């Protein structure tokens, strides 16, 4: 294809050059040569530069019709009476032929260059294609070789596994034979002992003796007893007489919640609060220190345990809890003790701590990570996953350090529990879960406790039905020496009694009349009183001003501030109007 195009280009160039050469020579039109007569009767036939006077016949005839001067005459020396015929009348056609030849040659050359460029691209693609085919062929050969090697390795491993399995089967057979032989020997020995024990007995006496042995009770699992038997009293030992397990045993599932991270959940009215308090009572009896984290709790309903109320105060305790957890693990690593020894050391030191997380469903929306003391306010950015981080720590790391949590929530989904998505498997493996089931009162159509529930042990997928303790009153006092029910009126502090006395019985007399001298505030109580008056507070809520009250950069706990508030009330500078809220007297 390329030689033909080259021939065409050469032919076109030849035509163009030939036509241009033909167009270059000769004249394309006729010429009339003329001269001018001078007064001396001579003829001038050229200008100063030696160029002859001439024009085409068209312009000669037009000049003649316009009035040619009589001095203009044709040059008799040129042609016929001055007329010279054209030597190349086809000159324009030759010029056009030359242009056409050159243009056609240029166009064909440009087209040929474009095709060559495209051809080069296709050749480059073909080259890469051939290289890719060669690489694929090489890889195919390598994969084939690797496949042969892998098959050989698998076959060898299978042969080894088969030999090992044969050896294992032989060993297991030997162990089974040996164990069977031992059992047969033991049975023979037992029969011999039984024969010796019943020697001289009649058949009736032997039957009574056997019946007595079957009715004997032991503390171990026997016969058909199962794991559920530790919870369900209906699972009894085969052959035991009715009533072998006492009625109190049906509540022994509570013992499982004492030393294990537990989640208690259920709908409104299912009995979460009452059941939780019975579990706390069992923990107190077992020697655990109880910290109740109840955002809206009052000391009246949590006698005998440490109560932390308010979301800010709970957040501070959560931070202390994680710090204490890290410190205990660090001390454990440095102690050189085994895990059992370390746990016993914590028990002996009275460091068994159980944290009760009431209303845990609301924590994520209300609790913010507390700011460290060494951090500037404008630079502090609390962790949005603070509650989730604490929940994971309490759920997974608490058991070995005896800092056991008990969560009380409305559901068991991870969206409800601290919004910790993706941790359902961890929850199933780490938490002992107790679900309380509510029922609907047919008369009031309100939810109430059904007395039924289900328990799931950590790492087990089976839910086991349980029965909840039957309670007549809500437990509010957890003191071992003085259990108190909810019917007992709340205690009144000394300052409130004095205030009641002044209002009811000491009318007309000032409080100062009943005292030798006014009570003086401690230095810290005085600083708190000055702070409250300086900020012009009339009603002071400890949960509101706690974060702003500092002395030399030091912050204080709610319990410390409440102690100083008691001094202020006792000195007559304020009155209690609610839990943790005082009203300053006008001066």
Q: What is the pLDDT of residues 333-352, one digit of tens each?
A: 999 999 999 999 999 888 99
List of domains in the chain: 259-467 (3.40.50.300), 516-584 (1.10.10.10)
Say if residues 275 and 468 touch (Cβ distance below 8 Å): yes
Residue 293 near residue 355, CB atoms below 8 Å: yes
Instruction: Supply the pTM of this predicted model.
Output: 0.44
Residue 540 clears pLDDT 50, i.e. is over it:
yes
CA distance 579 to 587: 24
Among 17-31, 107-121, 163-177, 344-358, which range has the highest average pLDDT?
Answer: 344-358
Asked whether residue 407 carries a pLDDT value surpassing 80, the answer given is: yes
- Between 493 and 121, the more confident residue is 121
Q: Is residue 314 within 8 Å of residue 367, measured between CB atoms? A: yes
What's the Cα-to-Cα distance from 507 to each of 37, 135, 571, rounded to whole Å?
A: 162, 109, 18
In this prediction, residue 489 has a pLDDT band, given cuts at 50, 70 and 90, of very low
Burial degree of 335 (CB within 10 A; 0-12, 13-18, 19+): exposed
Position 290 pLDDT exceeds 60: yes
**pLDDT grade for 206, boundaries at 50, 70 and 90:** low
pLDDT in tens, 63-93: 888 888 888 888 887 877 788 888 788 888 8
Task: Name the pairing type of β-strands 464-467 and 72-74.
Answer: unpaired
Closest-CA residue to 563 (of 532, 535, 528, 536): 528
Arithmetic mean of pLDDT, 294-312 = 91
Neighbours of 279 (CB within 10 A): 22
What long-range pairs does 116-122 form, CB within 8 A, spacing at least 24?
Answer: none
pLDDT of 228 strictly over 80: no
Whether the predicted pLDDT of 113 surpasses 80? yes
Return the closest-CA partner of residue 363 out of 302, 434, 308.
Answer: 308
Please tell me the distance from the alpha carbon of residue 419 to that of residue 383, in angstroms, as a whole number.
14
Assess contact for 297 and 280: CB atoms under 8 A: no
Q: Are strands 31-37 and 54-55 parallel, antiparallel or unpaired?
A: antiparallel
Tokens 């049906």 correspond to 250
Indicate if the pLDDT at residue 354 is higher than 90. Answer: yes
Rg for the chain (alpha carbons), in Å?
A: 57
Do the strands 31-37 and 43-44 form a parallel or antiparallel pair, or are they unpaired?
A: antiparallel
CB-based contact 417:273 (threshold 8 Å): no
pLDDT of 1: 58
Report helix, strand or coil for 302: coil
In degrees and rounded to multiples of 5, residue 8 shows phi and psi of -65, -40
Q: Per the structure block, which two tokens stand in for 276?
A: 């939780």
Per residue, what are the HEC states of 326-359?
A: HHHHHHHHHHCCCHHHHHHHHHHCCCCEEEEECC
Alpha helices in 68-215 (DSSP H): 91-197, 203-215
Structure tokens that stand for 185 in this block: 């020997």
Candidates 576, 541, 578, 583; CA nearest to 558 is 541
| CA–CA distance, 497 with 515 (Å, rounded to integer) | 15
Whole-number pLDDT of residue 382: 87
Share of the chain above pLDDT 70, in %: 80
Q: Given this model, what pLDDT does residue 356 score?
A: 95
For residue range 496-533, what is the model confidence (pLDDT) as tens digits?
Answer: 555 545 554 454 444 444 444 456 788 888 889 888 88
> Between the CA of residue 165 and those of 152, 156, 161, 173, 433, what are the distances in Å?
20, 14, 6, 12, 42
Q: Which helix (H) or strand (E) holds 263?
A: strand 262-266
46-50, 236-240, 578-582: least confident range: 236-240
Give just the sign of the alpha carbon dihedral 490, 491, 496, 499: positive
Residues 6 or more apart whose CB falls under 8 angstroms from that of 408 comprise 264, 265, 272, 273, 276, 356, 357, 358, 359, 360
Considering only 167-181, 259-273, 442-456, 545-559, which range has the smallest mean pLDDT? Answer: 167-181
Give the containing element (helix H, strand E) for 494: helix 494-504
Interval 563-576: pLDDT, tens = 888 889 888 889 88
- Please determine, for residue 310, whether its predicted confidence score (pLDDT) is greater than 80: yes
CA distance 294 to 301: 11
- Please check whether residue 585 is in contact with residue 541, taking contact to mean a CB–CB distance below 8 angstroms: no
Q: Over the stretch 254-287, which tens digit does the pLDDT of each residue have?
A: 888 988 899 999 888 888 889 999 999 999 998 9
pLDDT at res. 516: 43
What does the alpha-carbon distance between residue 264 and residue 587 come to, in Å, rounded to a whole number? Answer: 51
Buried residues in 169-180 as b, exposed as e (16+ CB within 10 A): eeeeeeeeeeee
Q: Which residues of 525-539 are buried (b: 16+ CB within 10 A; e: fewer)?
A: bebbbebbeeeebee
């Amino acid at each position: 294809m390329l030689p033909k195009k080259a021939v065409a280009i050469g032919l076109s160039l030849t035509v163009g050059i030939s036509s241009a050469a033909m167009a270059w020579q000769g004249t394309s039109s006729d010429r009339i040569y003329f001269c001018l007569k001078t007064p001396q009767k001579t003829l001038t036939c050229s200008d100063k530069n030696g160029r002859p006077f001439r024009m085409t016949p068209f312009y000669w005839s037009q000049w003649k019709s316009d009035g040619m001067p009589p001095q203009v005459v044709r040059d008799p020396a040129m042609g016929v009476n001055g007329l010279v015929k054209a030597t190349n009348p086809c000159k324009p056609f030759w010029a056009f032929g030359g242009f056409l030849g050159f243009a056609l040659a240029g166009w064909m050359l440009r087209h040929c260059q474009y095709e060559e460029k495209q051809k080069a691209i296709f050749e480059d693609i073909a080259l890469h294609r051939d290289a890719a085919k060669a690489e694929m062929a090489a890889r195919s050969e390598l994969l084939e070789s690797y496949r042969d090697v892998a098959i050989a390795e698998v076959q060898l491993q299978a042969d080894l596994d088969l030999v090992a399995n044969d050896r294992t089967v032989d060993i297991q057979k030997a162990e089974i034979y040996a164990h069977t032989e031992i059992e047969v020997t033991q049975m023979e020995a037992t029969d011999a002992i039984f024969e010796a024990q019943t020697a001289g007995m009649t058949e009736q006496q032997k039957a009574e003796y056997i019946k007595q042995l079957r009715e004997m009770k032991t503390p171990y699992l026997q016969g058909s007893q199962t794991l559920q038997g530790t919870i369900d009293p209906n699972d009894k030992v085969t052959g035991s007489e009715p009533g072998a397990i006492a009625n109190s045993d049906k509540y022994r599932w509570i013992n499982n919640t004492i030393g294990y991270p537990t989640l208690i959940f259920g709908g409104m009215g299912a009995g979460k609060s009452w059941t939780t308090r019975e579990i706390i009572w069992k923990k107190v009896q077992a020697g655990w220190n109880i910290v109740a984290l109840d955002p809206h709790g009052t000391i009246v309903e949590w006698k005998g345990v440490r109560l932390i109320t308010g979301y800010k105060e709970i957040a501070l305790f959560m931070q202390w809890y994680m710090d204490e957890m890290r410190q205990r693990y660090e001390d454990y690593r440095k102690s050189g003790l085994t895990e059992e020894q370390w746990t016993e050391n914590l028990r002996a030191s009275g460091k068994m701590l159980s944290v009760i997380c009431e209303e845990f469903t609301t924590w994520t929306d209300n609790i913010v990570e507390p700011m460290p003391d060494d951090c500037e306010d404008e630079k502090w950015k609390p962790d949005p996953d603070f509650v989730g981080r604490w929940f994971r720590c309490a759920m997974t790391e608490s058991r070995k350090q005896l800092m056991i949590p008990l969560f009380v929530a409305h559901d068991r989904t991870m969206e409800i529990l601290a919004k910790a998505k993706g941790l359902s498997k961890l929850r199933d493996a780490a938490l002992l879960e107790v679900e309380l089931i509510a029922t609907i009162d047919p008369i009031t159509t309100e939810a109430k406790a059904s007395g039924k529930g289900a328990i799931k042990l950590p790492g087990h997928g089976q839910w086991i039905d349980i029965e909840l303790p039957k309670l007549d009153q809500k437990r509010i006092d957890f003191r071992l020496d003085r259990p108190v029910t909810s019917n007992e009126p709340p205690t009144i502090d000394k300052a409130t009694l004095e205030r009641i006395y002044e209002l009811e019985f000491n009318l007309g007399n000032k409080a100062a009349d009943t005292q030798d001298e006014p009570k003086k505030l401690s230095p810290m109580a005085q600083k708190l009183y000055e702070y409250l008056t300086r900020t012009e507070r009339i009603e002071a809520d400890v949960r509101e001003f706690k974060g702003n009250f500092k002395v030399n950069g030091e912050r204080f706990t709610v319990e410390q501030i409440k102690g100083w508030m008691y001094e202020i009330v006792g000195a007559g500078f304020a009155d209690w109007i609610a839990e943790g809220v005082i009203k300053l007297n006008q001066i």
